[in-house]
Every structure is written in structure tokens, then in C-alpha cells.
Amino acid sequence: MSNALANGSHVDDGGELIRRAAEQALDLRQTVNELIDPKLRELVDVVLIELGFLLSKLK
């Protein structure tokens, strides 16, 4: 099954979307580090942990 994106491209519902979300979360983590906000950093870390867990299931 595939997912249609706003720009018309398609990616699979599983691995590619999770990988893309993980990359975006890593970028967000770098930005949040610059803000020096411990609560935001913790929230982003939780997201990264969950995405890592999902990625580990793909292999």
C-alpha cells in the first residue's frame, strides 16, 4: 500500500516514512539544542526513541 504526498510522489507506508520521520526528528533535535530548552529536548528525545524502536523492527 502506498501513501500519496502533497507533492504527488508516493512512498510506502512503512520503512521509508519512518526513516524520513527519523531524519526530520534529528534535524529538530539539533534546532532544539540551540534553544536550550530541556522540556522540548526531552520531548524530541522521546520521539527519536520511539522512531528508533520502529526502525529496529524493520530490519
Q: Would you say residue 43 lies in a domain?
A: yes
Q: Would you say residue 1 lies in a domain?
A: no
- Give the pLDDT band of residue 2 (cuts 50, 70, 90): very low
Per the structure, the complete domain to which residue 30 belongs is given by 13-57
Q: Would you say residue 23 lies in a domain?
A: yes
Q: Would you say residue 17 lies in a domain?
A: yes
Q: Would you say residue 8 lies in a domain?
A: no
Q: Is the pTM of this model over 0.95?
A: no
Q: Would you say residue 29 lies in a domain?
A: yes
Q: Would you say residue 3 lies in a domain?
A: no
Q: Would you say residue 7 lies in a domain?
A: no
pLDDT in tens, 19-56: 999 999 999 999 999 999 999 999 999 999 999 999 99
| CA-wise closest residue to 30 among 48, 49, 52, 54 | 48
Domain count along the chain: 1
What is the pLDDT at residue 12? 62
What is the pLDDT at residue 14? 80
